[in-house]
Amino acid sequence: MTALLREVETAQPLGFSVALYAANKRLQVVTLTAETIAAFDASIAQWPVQALEYKPFLRYAVADKLDAITGYTLGKFLNATMQDRNTGAFLLQYEGQPDIAAGELRTEFDIKLSTAVSHLVGLPNHDAMYGKYYARFTVLNDDNSDSYLRQAHRRMELHNDGTYVNERTDYVLMQKLGEAHMEGGDSLLLHVDDWADLDKFYRHPLAKKNIVWGAPKSKNVETKVEHAVFFEEDKNGKPHMLFIDQFAEPQNMTEGLYLYEMGKSLEEDENFFRVRLPVGTMLVIQNHCWLHGRDKFVAHPQLSRELLRQRGHFTR
């Protein structure tokens, strides 16, 4: 804990504040001030989201505008948080309102903000499902999709992203763009080091053995990839993980039972915690030392939730 507190002190935030999330002090809660938001809004108003989509370098320009407003303390703090295994996650929210009415323009502002944040910590990968550097998708009461991503009424089990692609997925950004008639459905988080059974699975003979991973059709990813669940160690020799129950394709009984036991252990682990994301806020996690999921919702005919996600790799 001393290390976590030191991180906050040395960053000397300007134009934002930092607190530790009550349910788990690894998670850093970053709040941009109303002045920061107003200045950011004014400095990027010239660029609609479409401009950011067409010209990748504008995404960095937007990120730099935000960082400059904070005297370049925000980028430093966010990167230090992501590079420190003991934290590796932040929830970013803001005070005040941009000078924009609710609706699509407000959503555009939120997308520009998450674009800035994402480009301060790395570079988002192309999202094959949505065809852009980010994905927007809606969760409704009824859904017939072929994965649990958009299905409301069941818990989406704890997992890492990027299991079935070849690109590195060092971080995941999840942003709430809109919500109506929603009860439940909080994000679930479990740090790999807080998982009670980590040693049991990390010391298992299959821990470093390649597993085949595929994806359902909707993901628009045809090829299969192979990697171990514990595919690498970080700079301090601690395990990085890539696991998701739905997309693992075990080739024999031994692999099948190893993965089955792992999924069961993760679901029964009591060290996870819930995070509620109000509209406009985002959660950013180091994908290889955090597992994430989503709690189930209460059914409602007009239930709707719009989300944005960016998944990317670190560039420094």
- Contacting positions for Fe ion (CB under 5 A): 161
Minimum CB separation of residue 211 from Fe ion in Å reads 18
CB proximity list for 12: less than 8 A, separation 6 or greater: 73
From the CB of residue 253, how many other CB atoms can be counted at a distance below 10 Å? Answer: 8
Q: Tell me the three state secondary structure of residue 212.
A: strand
Question: Cβ 149 to Fe ion, closest distance in Å?
Answer: 7
**3-state SS of 248-285?**
ECCCCHHHHHHHHHHHHHHHHCCCCEEECCCCCCEEEE
Nearer to Fe ion, 127 or 161 (CB): 161
Residue closer to Fe ion, measured from CB, 120 or 189? 189
CB-wise, 107 or 160, nearer to Fe ion? 160
Q: C-alpha 6: how far from its chain's center? A: 24
The smaller minimum CB distance to Fe ion, of residues 108 and 161, is found at: 161
Cα(102)–Cα(139) distance, rounded to whole angstroms?
Answer: 20
- Shortest distance, position 207 Cβ to Fe ion, whole Å: 22
Which 8-state DSSP code applies to residue 305? E
CB of 174 to Fe ion, least distance (A): 8
| Cβ atoms of residues 133 and 311 within 8 Å | no
Q: How far is the CB of 195 from Fe ion (least distance, A)?
A: 17
Nearer to Fe ion, 112 or 294 (CB): 294
Residue placing its CB nearer to Fe ion in the complex, 15 or 293? 293
Closer CB to Fe ion, 153 or 219, in the complex: 219
Residue 243, C-beta contacts closer than 8 angstroms, at least 6 positions apart: 159, 160, 163, 229, 259, 262, 266, 291
Residue spans of alpha helices (H) in 55-179 = 56-69, 73-83, 104-121
Two structure tokens written together for 7: 């991180």
Instruction: Report how far residue 251's alpha carbon sits from residue 246's, in angstroms, rounded to the nearest whole number.
Output: 14
Alpha carbons 162 and 50: distance in angstroms, whole number? 26
Residue 135 or 279: which CB sits closer to Fe ion?
A: 135
Query: Sign of the C-alpha dihedral, residues 121, 92, 279, 57?
Result: negative
Among all residues, whose Cβ is closest to Fe ion?
161
Nearest distance, CB of residue 216 and Fe ion, angstroms: 13
Q: How far is the CB of 1 from Fe ion (least distance, A)?
A: 28
Query: In whole angstroms, what is the distance from residue 187 CA to residue 201 CA?
Result: 24
172 or 198: CB nearest Fe ion: 172
Nearest approach in angstroms of CB 171 to Fe ion is 12
18: amino acid identity, one letter: V
What's the closest the beta carbon of residue 161 comes to Fe ion, in angstroms? 4
